[in-house]
Amino acid sequence: MDLQPSIRELSEYYDKDSQNTFVSVYINKKDDPRFLSRRESACSSLLSKREADNFEKTMAMIKDAIKSERGKTLAVFASHKYNILKSISLPIALHNSLVVDTSPYIRPLARLHDEFEDYTLVVLDSHQAKIFSISLGSVENEKRLSEDIMNKHKKGGWSQQRFQRLRKGAIHRFYTEVLEKLESMEPERIILAGPGTAKQHFMDVLPQQLQQKVISTIDSSVDDVQGLLSSSITAMRDHEQQQADALVEQIKSEVFKEGLAVYGLEETLQAAQQGKIDVLVIEKDYKLKGCICEHCQLIKAGPIKDCPICGGPTSEADVIEEIIEFAERTDATIEFTTHEELHNLGHIAALLRY
C-alpha cells in the first residue's frame, strides 16, 4: 500500500472560509470502543451552529464508513460541506484520535509513510527462494521459486570436480531466475536473507543498480518467515534512522557554509510556502500551536485574532501540521527523527531545492 498519493491528495484540501469543516478520525479496533462518541460529543458542544451542523452530517458519513469496515484500523477523512470522504485501511494500529480543523489532519499518515517505507525481502538458499513485497510492515505480495538442483545432477560415475562444476552452474542459473523475478517487481529497497553464503552469492549476480538498493542482509533459515519479517522490519527502521541522521548532518554542513538549508520555524515555514523545500526534517512528536488565515495562508505561532494582511478571522492550527501540508503539496520528502541536533536547530529544518 503506497500512502503517498493519498497524503498528497489530502494535503490539497482546505476550507478557505476558515470554517472547521474537515473531520479526521484515526480509529484502532483494539482501543476504547466509546472513544468516538465521547470525542463527537465534546467537539460538537464547542462548535458554532453552522460548524456543528456540518460536523453532525460529516460524522454520519464517517460512522457509515467505519461500520462498513468493521474491525479494521482506519484513517477516515471527511467533509459534508465539500462532499469528501476518504477511508484508508491500515495494517498498523494507531492511537485513536478525532481532529476537527480547516483541513485534513495528515501528520500520522506522513509518519507512517516515513517509518514504514516499502521494501522487498528476498529469502533464499541454493535451491529455493521467497520474495516478499512489504508495505506498512505487512506482506503485500509473495513469490516462491524452487529448483531441485541435487536431483538434477546425481553424482553417479562423475568425478567430484565435474559434479561440483555442474551443480555450481545450476545454482547460478537458479539465482538468475530469481533475479528476473526480482527485477520484474521493480524494488526500491532490498533486504537479503538466508543461511550461509547464499546471500553473498546472490548479491554477486545482482547488477550494480540493484546492489546499491540492498540495505541489509540477515542470516536466517529460509523457513522462519515470521522471524524474518520481524527482523527485516527492524533492519528497515534502523536504515530509516540512519538516513534521517545523515540528513541532519547534511543540513548542518549546509548551515555552516550558508548553503541550501533552513532551520527553525520562521525560515522553514517561509521555504515551505514558497515551494523551495526538497527534504523536510521534523523532530518526532514536536507540535506548535499557532493560527492560520485560510484566505491568505498566513501562518503564525501563537494566537492572533485577526489576520494582519487581510483583516479576516484566523483559526487555531498546529503550525507543524501546516508546514507538512505545504511540503506535501510541493512534492517534498518528509523525514521524522529524534536526532538531538535537530532539537538544537529549532525542532525543524529542511534542505532546499534552490
Per residue in 273-316, pLDDT (tens digit) is: 999 999 999 999 999 998 888 777 788 888 888 888 888 888 88
Task: With beta carbons less than 8 A apart as the criterion, state whether 10 and 74 touch.
Answer: no
80 to 50, 199, 286, 330: CA distances (angstroms) = 12, 53, 30, 27
Burial class (CB in 10 A: 0-12, 13-18, 19+), 281: buried
Domains contained in the chain, CATH given: 1-116 (3.30.960.10), 118-223 (3.30.420.60), 241-354 (3.30.1330.30)
Report the chain (354 residues): mean pLDDT per 10 consecutive residues: 90 86 89 86 92 96 91 92 95 89 94 91 91 90 75 54 67 90 95 92 94 95 88 92 93 96 96 97 93 83 85 86 95 94 95 96
Which pTM was predicted? Answer: 0.83
How many other C-beta atoms are found inside a 10 Å radius of the C-beta of residue 176?
11
How many other C-beta atoms are found inside a 10 Å radius of the C-beta of residue 218?
17
What is the H or E stretch that residue 131 is in?
strand 128-135
Task: With beta carbons less than 8 A apart as the criterion, state whether 78 and 22 touch.
Answer: yes
Q: Which residues pair with 191 in a beta bridge?
A: 121, 216
How many other C-beta atoms are found inside a 10 Å radius of the C-beta of residue 348?
25
> What local confidence, expressed as pLDDT, does residue 111 receive?
92
Task: With beta carbons less than 8 A apart as the criterion, state whether 1 and 78 touch.
Answer: no
C-alpha 305/C-alpha 279 separation (Å) is 32
Task: With beta carbons less than 8 A apart as the criterion, state whether 92 and 136 touch.
Answer: yes
C-alpha cell at 290: 499557532
What is the H or E stretch that residue 10 is in?
helix 4-11
C-alpha 193/C-alpha 216 separation (Å) is 9
